[in-house]
Structure 1
Amino acid sequence: MLDHHQQASGDLVPDHRPEESRGRNAVIRELLLALSVGYTIPGPLPRELERKITGGAVDSLDTLVASAESTGLLQPDGTVVGTVQQALLTSTPTARIHALQRELVGYFAADNRPLGDFARDLARGGLADHRVAAELEKAGDRALEHHPGVAAQLYGEALLAGADELATAARRAQAAFATGDLDSAGRIIDGLLVCSDPPDLRLGIDVAAAVWAQRGMISRSADVYSWLGPERVGPSAPLAAVAMIGCGNRAGAERMFPGKAGQESPTLLAVALAQMGKGALESLAADPHHALPVMIHASDMFTAAGASLPLPETPGALAGLLALHSGEPHLAETILRAAVTAGQGGDAVKPRLFLLQAWSAMQQDNPEEARLAINEASKANPWPLVPRDEFLCAALEVGLARRSGEVHDLVLAWERAREAMLHTSVDLYSLLPWGELMITAARLRESRRVSHYLDEVWKLLQTLGEPPLWAVPMHWAAVQAALLNESPADLAPHASALVRAAHHNHLAAVLAAAGKAWVSVLAENFQASDVETAARALNAVGMPWEGARLAGHAAARADDRKDMVRLLSCARDLHPQGNSGAPKSSGRSEMRAVASAGDAIETAQPDGSVLSEREKEVARLVLEGKTYREIGEAIYISPRTAEHHIARMRRRLGAENRSDLLVRLRLALGPENPNGASP
């Protein structure tokens, strides 16, 4: 028996055999080649092979098959031995193989049978045939909304088979976008939109708008819809409205999407998108209480539709944002978790949903859950975070670091955020990150770094008519920044805005009261009961850390021992995580809860015995609010030495941050403290 490669190449029998044997072997080789390129038995065979069989080269097809099986080259199930198949395909000219494949495709077409996965094999094998390309395109179309990754592969194979690159451009871009390949989607759409009469124009515009939004430039999303115009926007009108509202063009949104109920197609997807546009418009109302339930309905229906469409923002993300802006982070987390679990919108939007879920957790003072969600966002798809999500993630890191009280971590996070903000722009759906960065910039004395962006924020809100749902959290952030900057002039307009909005907005009423409480605390002219009420109200609107911070600062300035204990207890209730890991000293007086700057920690009451005389001297100056330089000038030491003294006192007293240190120093100095009553 000769080896399979030799036999498959034509030498099935030695040359000394009769002529008819060599002829039979040639027919066997033709049969094996036909089966190797995709023909099957039973089934039609190549016309040339059929002619040889009927012409008497072999007795019959059955005899031919039996002969092929007897050589060991054809298996009983009708498939060619693998090594033989490879040898035949390698040794046969490509033109001959493709001719046989085209003939086979013709048989499928004549019988009206789909090629199925065989079409993919043909395309990957290099066969260019319009029938194969058409079938792959149709398969890609069927997979596009629900399995975009598969669709992307099918469209790519259709191109290999000779599909029109321009005709499939919009759909290929949609598939690339849905899988998270933003750059490929953008390049495909650029090639489409430069054409004089691009096919699938509306879909191409949807992809372009979604790409711009992911890049953090939603104003460009609005521009492409403006270029398309109301007369051509069709079912994409709600998407255009969301984009235009995001960049402050309310009039344009209303022209694109009048929002009249009942005009949309009665499908789940069409109704979901219509509700999304309606919810976005209603969020701008003076009384926006209808907006959130409408957007939640949109999210539910969009999830049920199971589509992966290119959108400037998904209904789930918008519903989460509306809940966060309404002071309901727990509801936001529920909405976002459901959207993530259902895979709403596909891989492209997973990171954003996870990051907004992380924001909800951070808002509820749950940093561990927030970090878990951030980690999930980073691995949600194989691509790096897009600029919009990278900015949101950087702001999250800033917020978590600010709440932890770790200055070093805060500075590092701030540097990352500074870089991220250079790659994005201001829009309505990014106000929460900008609010967080405004506060942190004030704390780090870096307000100049964000002033330009904040000017754009206020201009955007003014253009939209100061919608309370979106504006209130920003005014609250501005109040906190002004307090940190010790700037009453900057605080006044934002406090007034909260008071005005309080008549129709519960969150604004809570924040206005909290702002008033903060001012009274910093002026050291407050009632403990008022501060506690304000702090607990902050907790009720999903801001427990902010409430604990207010109560803790008030405790640090309370003159009456009962007030201090009451406020410390309030801070501990609102921020219980701070109780873990605190140092304790047995044999001291009763344990007290010490809360400040968002950290409520249970510790023993310190006394002055742990401080040296020089440290007590420095401590008194610290309590007077002196800087390192001023302390140095007062007691003739260098600012660096003063800093070392303060760091040592902080370690000895177990203080977590500066405000915590102030509380402990007051307790430690007791009657020696000229700036407060004895504890």
Structure 2
Amino acid sequence: MGRAHAGADSTAAGAQPDLQMLAAGLSGTTASVRELLLALSAGFTLPGPLPATLESRKDLGVIIETAKESGLLSEDGRVVGTVQHALLTGTPDAHLHALQRELVDKVLSAGLPFTDLARELARGGLHDARVAAELERAAAVVVDTDPRLAADLFAEALLAGADELDKAAQRAQAAAAIGELDTAGRLVDRLLAMPDPPGLLLGVDVAASVWSQRGMLARGADTYSWLGKERLGSSAPLAAVALAGSGDLAMAEAVLDANRMSGSPTLLAVSLSLTGQGLRQTLGPEPQLGLPDLIRASDMMNAAGTVIPMPETPAALAALCALHGGEPALAETILRSALTAGQGGDPARPRHFLLLAWSLMHRDNADEARLAINEALKANPWNLPPRDAFLHAALDVGLARRGGDVHELVVAWDRAREAMMHVSVDLFNLLPWGELMISAARLRETPKAAHYLSAVPELLERLGNPPLWAVPVHWAGVEAALLAEDPAGLAPHAAALVRASEHSHLASVLARGGRAWVSVLAGRFEASDVEAAARGLAAVGMPWEGARLAGHAAAHADERRDMVKLLACARDIHPPASGGNAPGIPQQVAATDPPPETRADAAGLSAREREVARLLLEGKTYREIGEAIYISHRTAEHHVARMRRRLGAESRSELLSRLRIALAEGYPDREHPPEPPLGPPRIP
């Protein structure tokens, strides 16, 4: 079309002599044939329209046939590529652009489709306000449905001479929607610095969305506050999400009250209205009323098929509420529907997959959780934004903790410590912060995370400690206090769960679970009470936690029948995965102290003895080994004594050395491993 575009039809330096010969040959053609070929090279087509000087000629048909007979024009009316290149490179810019502007005049006056031609002209180097306007118009049409195409069209409009700031808000929307957060942020910064910026409301929406993905939701809320609630209009629900999520519930409610849905009740408008209304309900005394609204909001957003800048998608909010309410299966259903519909476009895809992984982790399905994490990483082949990177890091910690692999947990914790430095606490990342609270206590790393974790109760306090959102945090506090052997730290969280039990079924289940843990650790418990608490935890989406409680109690049971009963409960709640081990549970779980299997390997160790040996090499005590594979600590001790005799080891260090050789594993030789136990330790 233009010089740059036409060059693609020829080879590089090696084609130059041929082009010179073509130019010499073209100079010998008649002026009328050359004029026709140049017009067609510039963008005109056959049978028309053509430049006025050619259309007025009575011998136009003869000119066309002469060009074809000379081999310069194909039968379908296209100029031969090398000929086109020679003409475009040999024609002065002024003459070429004059022809192209005449072409634009004719296309517009005839009312012909213009977008594809405008793209070609822009890429060819033509600066024309009409071309730029057409490209911006086409981009605005598709920016909500195909942001990648919109971004290309906006870029071509700039090539055609469009003003950089006139459509900056929409350009930022397209950039953010394809994951280019830095580009979107720079565009919005320039826009908001103007005294009277065009597309201001959209620019604020984009800014809030970018801040949210960066893990700084409060900055997005500040942007809406700067704009003022009187100017929010249709974006009021989005502002309410950012404001409530960062702890300003009063302003969120004021924004919703001042900007009730008006105008056409489109799918998108209804979705946004339900989002604001549903989130508001979840923060009140009857949070169960909010989840249906959020689910309907997600359904409407799926149906709308539009991609707009949002601090959080309706699907993510609905899934988070389901997870906080102890319904991970429901969260999974919501997220799978959103992923199928492409809700939120490319930026939301990793977020939805990571939340799906969280749901699967809580449903005790570690393998599928890891597959969902892989899909999240595939959805964003570059780097995840900080918000999603933080969720990913917390997932790795949660899976490692449930898998019982101390080394993997330490590695995951180190990555999470780095990730937490890039984000701030908000309402929508309380679950990962709760997981990190537990793991910090597990690894004796709480002081290193205390500065960040202290913001969690502060946020909940500003929001009035909403039960739906606060209960899982208090449960995490209970688990962390048990692991840290901190009765004083346990008390406020346990009391909060008891208070919330009056209005929250989940809180009552967790309160019972907390009491069961305390009774087990104190050595004074009834097996039936522990079993009921463990099954209750499993019923609210915590089968791993329930199985751990029952298994730990079994290891401390005085009566054999209680031990058998609790081990059976643990196996029932947390069955071994087919073809492999479930996290923290061996493939074969015994309900009684079993004899060692008779089949031995080359070193003379049975399958159960190898299992015990691996745990011993990881630095676990007899009691911890028993808890991990659901045998009593005495049986674990018997296994170790039998292996020592069989391997001829005279001391513990010699036994560890020989076991490392037998298992071909590179475990460190630690007589006194520093790792804390996998289960909550005894409180004095």
Q: Report if TM-score (shorter chain) is over 0.5.
A: yes
Contact persistence 2:208–2:217 (CA under 8 A): yes
Cα distance in 2, alignment partners of residues 148 and 338 from structure 1? 21
Contact persistence 1:259–1:274 (CA under 8 A): no
Does 2:587 correspond to 1:580? Answer: yes
1:99 paired residue number: 98
What is the Cα deviation at residue 494 of structure 1?
Answer: 0.6
TM-aligned CA distance change 1:401 to 1:205, over 3 Å: same
TM-aligned CA distance change 1:596 to 1:546, over 3 Å: farther
1:442 paired residue number: 441
Identity of aligned residues (%): 59
TM-aligned CA distance change 1:600 to 1:642, over 3 Å: closer
1:173 paired residue number: 172
Cα distance in 1, alignment partners of residues 214 and 658 from structure 2? 46
1:41 paired residue number: 46
Cα distance in 1, alignment partners of residues 414 and 149 from structure 2? 40
Cα distance in 2, alignment partners of residues 72 and 265 from structure 1? 59
Cα distance in 1, alignment partners of residues 341 and 121 from structure 2? 35
2:349 paired residue number: 350
Does 2:155 correspond to 1:156? Answer: yes
Question: Which ranges of structure 1 fall in alignment gaps of 5 or more residues?
Answer: 15-21, 55-59, 617-636, 664-679
What is the Cα deviation at residue 8 of structure 1?
Answer: 4.9
Contact persistence 1:548–1:598 (CA under 8 A): no
Does 2:553 correspond to 1:557? Answer: no
Residue aligned with 1:525, SS: coil
2:402 paired residue number: 403
Alignment of 1:119-138 (within 5 A): 119-138=118-137
The aligned amino acid for 1:31 is L
What is the Cα deviation at residue 258 of structure 1?
Answer: 1.7
TM-aligned CA distance change 1:609 to 1:187, over 3 Å: closer
Contact persistence 2:237–2:273 (CA under 8 A): yes
What is the Cα deviation at residue 49 of structure 1?
Answer: 3.9
Task: Pick one of 16, 22, 29 that aligns with 2:34.
Answer: 29
What is the Cα deviation at residue 346 of structure 1?
Answer: 0.3
Which has the larger Rg? 1
The aligned amino acid for 2:463 is L
The aligned amino acid for 1:580 is Q
2:268 paired residue number: 269
TM-aligned CA distance change 1:613 to 1:110, over 3 Å: closer
What is the Cα deviation at residue 6 of structure 1?
Answer: 5.7
What is the Cα deviation at residue 382 of structure 1?
Answer: 3.5
Deviations 1:26-71 (A, max 9, x none): 21011001011111222232234456x36xxxxx001111111111
Cα distance in 2, alignment partners of residues 530 and 8 from structure 1? 94
Cα distance in 1, alignment partners of residues 658 and 516 from structure 2? 33
1:621 paired residue number: none
2:582 paired residue number: none
Cα distance in 1, alignment partners of residues 26 and 496 from structure 2? 93
1:360 paired residue number: 359
Contact persistence 1:548–1:571 (CA under 8 A): yes
The aligned amino acid for 1:119 is A
What is the Cα deviation at residue 249 of structure 1?
Answer: 0.1
Alignment of 1:5-404 (within 5 A): 5=19, 8-9=22-23, 11-12=25-26, 25-50=30-55, 53=57, 60-258=59-257, 263=262, 265-404=264-403
The aligned amino acid for 2:268 is L
Contact persistence 2:41–2:79 (CA under 8 A): yes
Cα distance in 1, alignment partners of residues 115 and 291 from structure 2? 45
Contact persistence 1:548–1:600 (CA under 8 A): no
Deviations 1:81-131 (A, max 9, x none): 111111111211222211110110011122222312111010001100011
Question: Which ranges of structure 2 fall in alignment gaps of 5 or more residues?
Answer: 1-16, 577-584, 600-605, 613-622, 668-674
1:673 paired residue number: none
Cα distance in 1, alignment partners of residues 450 and 680 from structure 2? 31
1:499 paired residue number: 498
What is the Cα deviation at residue 191 of structure 1?
Answer: 1.1
Deviations 1:165-198 (A, max 9, x none): 1111000000011111111111111111111110
1:619 paired residue number: none
Cα distance in 2, alignment partners of residues 292 and 149 from structure 1? 33
What is the Cα deviation at residue 560 of structure 1?
Answer: 0.5
What is the Cα deviation at residue 215 of structure 1?
Answer: 0.4
TM-aligned CA distance change 1:104 to 1:611, over 3 Å: closer
Cα distance in 2, alignment partners of residues 662 and 107 from structure 1? 80
The aligned amino acid for 1:438 is M
Residue aligned with 2:49, SS: coil
Cα distance in 1, alignment partners of residues 263 and 461 from structure 2? 32
Contact persistence 2:169–2:191 (CA under 8 A): yes
Contact persistence 2:324–2:472 (CA under 8 A): yes
Contact persistence 1:517–1:531 (CA under 8 A): yes
What is the Cα deviation at residue 383 of structure 1?
Answer: 3.2
Alignment of 1:520-559 (within 5 A): 520-559=519-558
Contact persistence 2:229–2:258 (CA under 8 A): no
2:421 paired residue number: 422
Cα distance in 2, alignment partners of residues 363 and 63 from structure 1? 78
TM-aligned CA distance change 1:10 to 1:649, over 3 Å: closer
Number of corresponding residues:
621
Residue aligned with 1:290, SS: helix
Contact persistence 1:4–1:73 (CA under 8 A): no
Contact persistence 1:264–1:271 (CA under 8 A): no
Cα distance in 2, alignment partners of residues 348 and 13 from structure 1? 55
Deviations 1:216-235 (A, max 9, x none): 00000100000011111110
Query: What root-mean-square deviation, in Å, do the aligned CA atoms of Structure 1 and Structure 2 show?
Result: 3.2
1:626 paired residue number: none
Cα distance in 1, alignment partners of residues 661 and 27 from structure 2? 93
Contact persistence 1:235–1:264 (CA under 8 A): no
The aligned amino acid for 1:11 is G
Deviations 1:495-554 (A, max 9, x none): 010000001100000000000000000000000000000000000001000000000110
Residue aligned with 1:258, SS: helix
TM-aligned CA distance change 1:411 to 1:651, over 3 Å: farther
TM-aligned CA distance change 1:540 to 1:292, over 3 Å: same
Cα distance in 1, alignment partners of residues 626 and 291 from structure 2? 30
Deviations 1:557-580 (A, max 9, x none): 100011011111111111112342
Contact persistence 1:38–1:101 (CA under 8 A): yes
TM-aligned CA distance change 1:645 to 1:436, over 3 Å: farther
Please give the TM-score of this superposition, normalised by the length of structure 2. 0.85
